[in-house]
Structure 1
Amino acid sequence: MKIVRMMLFPFALFYGLAVKARNWLYNKNIIKSSRFNFPLIAVGNLSVGGTGKSPMVEYLIRLLLPEYNIATLSRGYKRKTRGYVLADERTTAIDIGDEPMQFHNKFPGVMVAVCEERAFAVPQILYDKPGTDVIILDDAFQHRQVDAGLNILLTDYNNPFYKDFFLPTGNLRDAKSSYKRADIIVVTKCPQDISSEEKDIVADKIKALPEQHLFFTGIKYGAPYHLVTKEGVVLNEQTDVLLVCGIANPKPLKAFIKERVNELSVLHYRDHYIFTIDDLRHIKKQFDAIASSQKIIIVTEKDAVRLIKFQAELKDMPVYVLPIEPYFLFNGSGEFNYLVKKFIKDFKVKS
């Protein structure tokens, strides 16, 4: 794979030139970003997948929901619909995509919308839900169609943007210099035992501007619960696990499970993979091949919303969902929470 990526280096150069030209057009205001007199928070990255955008959006929802009426706006990647769609009680992942469906399931009090054209969708959300106080733009940092008031940029500790290169040789879909547009930079998926010296090395390489705020987060996994019945289970050293996941970067998840169980087998699908009945048969076959009598299947929350359509087939199988959320290292949560809430409060005062 690495050899193929290096062979594609000339294409990466052309892609990088196109990205830089596009950014120059935006910076010179030749291509204009839409601006709204309304608090918009953009969460995104400079690379393709795997930096923890969905857990960060959920963190923001949990932070703000007690005080504000929140809406989330995503593109709705891999959905089978087009245009603006507002989630309701009949909505499925096919209608809005897996991550927005995850938000919709976990936070019933939050308005969840998807649309390819964010500049169109923002006023539509405010028309449909006039009491909305803030909109969180999911995966919107590098999509400059809308100029958000607060930009949160995520970068993976294990593959930071400053070490990366443009697609298809690397994973960058935006220029490294675009980090300067962020108000907040969050280094995600850090090891739990990261030292202050290691933190300082990363901070020195990022070179945050004086007005930017830099934070470090790790991953916290919750208690697994059954996909259909919601009944909990405890992982232990006698358990054999079949991990079924369609996410961009499963390494931290695999490491977490492997430390806590007897044996780990993995069926890894591509990111945002839409499971079919044939996939379900294959999963069952792989699971049945595990000799242990104490065995379970684990899926991510994102995969769960794509598998729930098979709940009739899965309700009697030990399929458990492993929830995930970020936590701030070096006592950073207080400052981060303050900055986000201050942005909304100050915006309302200015309005």
Structure 2
Amino acid sequence: MVKFVRWLLFPFSILYAAIVLLRNWAYDNQLYNSTSFHFPVIIIGNLSVGGTGKSPMTEYVLRLIKPHLNIAVLSRGYGRRTKGFRYVNIDDSAELTGDEPLQIKRKFPDATVIVCENRVRGIEQVQGQVDAVLLDDAYQHRKLRPSFSILLLDYESLQHPILPLPTGNFREMLPACKRADTIVITKCPDTVPAQMKFSIESRFRKYTSVPLFYTKIGYQKLQMKNGLLLDDTQLGDTVALVVTGIAKPQPLVSYLKPKFKEIIHLSFRDHHQFSPDDLDKISQTFQHIDSLQKVMITTEKDLQRLPSSFVDQHPLYFLPIDQVFLFGDAHMFDAIVKRAFSS
């Protein structure tokens, strides 16, 4: 039914795509002004709405560059209930900062993490205090002219027709990849068939010749907030209640399913702010699981939005993820990014 309704909105998709095309043309021809800076400003973005792995890539780049430069991470802070410029502190709540910036700050407590919906103003606030700025989800923020752009597209989205909003999930179409300095195909299977790799690269080579990389999700150990790891020797006898509020939870569920006796999945929308009723529903669902061995699992991003009181009352584990480059290309990607931050 949802797909049918979205196809009914196809005329609006054509209008939306035309408006985006016109807007980009205006920026490309300097009818609208873009602001640039005299120090490295690197952006990570995508063409679609959510689910491409921007947070793991942001953490990957931060982990790579932070030992060498004083780098600030700037985010819009999607889902926060505050406005304007704000430094993120580890004891903040997701309502103040957004879940992704808070996750990054808690993983990198000595890093400068800031939120500001006006990216140019946010950079101006820290200019002179840091050596470089890394932005997530800023590919469509044309008021800013970055020094380097990393464009992410998830593998699954390239297996289907690429359609603009609201019929499809794309904010921009593939020709927009010409603004990128490197492209990463994320969430790939363990093995990308040679024919599929050729097909993907052929599509992009119509518009750009920049380096193209492939990554998969690297799942780490299930752990509690206090760092306690889940004993994985008895997972086959354990029932797991999986709670997600992310754009594309299916890869996570598919990864966990063969490891546990049973998976029960409660799915909420991306960046969902859990209400008392939501928390009660989760607790009741967990209590009614008829098994002596049961655990609750969520994502690292969702953990930022769950109240500490709720987390402390349940055997709640989260699953950290990272980016794993395929075809042995990590060193090449690292060299390109390091060069971008040194310019």
Normalising by structure 1, what TM-score? 0.93
Runs of 4+ in 1 over 4 A off after TM superposition: 208-211
Match of 1:260 in 2: 259
- The equivalent of 2:240 in structure 1 is 241
- 1:56 maps onto 2:54 in alignment: no
Shift of 1:89: 4.6
Whichever residue aligns with residue 150 of structure 1, its letter is F
Partners of 2:297 and 2:329 lie apart in 1 by 31
Between the aligned partners of 1:87 and 1:226, the Cα distance in structure 2 is: 22
> Do the aligned partners of residues 333 and 339 (structure 1) sit closer, same or farther apart at CA in structure 2, a change above 3 Å counting?
same
CA RMSD of superposed structures (Å): 1.5
Q: Pairwise mapping of residues 60-79 of structure 1 onto structure 2 (< 5 A)?
A: 60-79=61-80
- Are positions 1:225 and 2:226 aligned together? no
Q: Secondary structure at the match of 1:205?
A: helix
CA distances 1:111-148 after superposition (whole Å, capped 9, x unpaired): 01111111111010225xx1x12211110112111111
Aligned twin of 2:336: 339
Describe the superposition over 1:205-257 as per-residue Cα deviations: whole angstroms up to 9, x where unpaired.
22265640100000011111113x33110342112111100000111111100
CA apart distance, 1:197: 3.3
CA distance in 1: counterparts of 2:256 and 2:329, whole angstroms: 27
CA distance in 1, matches of 2:210, 2:311: 47
Letter in structure 2 aligned against 1:57: T
Q: Which amino acid aligns with 1:92?
A: S
Once the two structures are TM-superposed, the CA of residue 161 in structure 1 deviates from its matched residue by 9.0
Q: Quick one: structure 1 residues 342 and 44, their matched pair in 2 at CA, closer, same or farther if it must change by over 3 Å?
A: same
The 1:84–1:163 alpha-carbon spacing in structure 2 relative to 1, beyond 3 Å, is same
| Alpha-carbon distance between aligned partners in 2 of 1:330 and 1:177, rounded to the nearest angstrom | 26
Corresponding residue for 1:153? 151
How far apart are residue 93 of structure 1 and its match? 1.1
The TM-score normalised by the length of structure 2 is 0.96
1:320 and 2:311 matched: no
> What secondary structure, in the 3-state scheme, does the structure 2 residue paired with 1:163 have?
coil
* 1:106-117 mapped onto 2 (5 Å cutoff): 106-117=107-118
| Distance 1:90-1:252 versus aligned 2 partners, 3 A rule | closer
User: Who is 1:174 aligned against?
Assistant: 172
Deviations 1:2-59 (A, max 9, x none): 1111011111111111111111110110111111001011000011000101110000
Structure 1 residue 289 and structure 2 residue 288: aligned? yes
Pick closer, same or farther for the CA change 1:208–1:106 going to 2, 3 Å. Answer: farther
CA separation of 1:232 and 1:162: change in aligned 2, threshold 3 A? same
Per-residue deviation at 1:313? 3.5
1-side partners of 2:127 and 2:292: how far apart?
A: 53
Unaligned runs of 5+ in 2: none
- Alignment-derived partner of residue 182 in structure 2: 184
Assess, with a 3 A threshold, how the Cα gap between structure 1 residues 261 and 162 changes in structure 2: closer, same or farther: closer
Shift of 1:195: 2.9
Farther-moved stretch of structure 1 (85-94 vs 97-106): 85-94
State the alpha-carbon separation in 1 of the partners of residues 222 and 35 from structure 2.
42
Structure 2 residue identity aligned to 1:206:
F
Per-residue deviation, 1:262: 1.1
Contact 1:244 1:267 (8 Å CA) reproduced:
yes
Q: Would the alpha carbon gap of residues 97 and 161 (structure 1) be closer, same or farther in structure 2, given more than 3 Å must change?
A: farther
Residue type of the partner of 2:269? R
- Amino acid paired to 2:113: V
1:162 CA displacement: 8.0
Structure 1 gap segments, 5+ residues each: none
Letter in 2 for 1:32: N
CA gap of 1:184–1:244, structure 2 versus 1, over 3 A, is same
Once residues 264 and 286 of structure 1 are traced to their aligned partners in structure 2, the CA distance between those partners, rounded to angstroms, is: 12
Structure 1, residues 42-96: CA drift from partner, whole Å, max 9, x if none?
0000110001011100000111122111111111111010011111354221111
Q: How does 1:22-171 map to 2 (within 5 A)?
A: 22-126=23-127, 130=129, 132-160=130-158, 163-171=161-169
CA distance in 2, matches of 1:163, 1:60: 30
Instruction: Determine the C-alpha separation between the residues in 1 that align with 2:197 and 2:88.
Output: 40
Aligned pair in 2 of structure 1 residues 252, 313: CA closer, same or farther (>3 Å)? Answer: closer
Q: Give the distance between the partners of 2:159 and 2:32, measured in 1 at CA.
A: 25
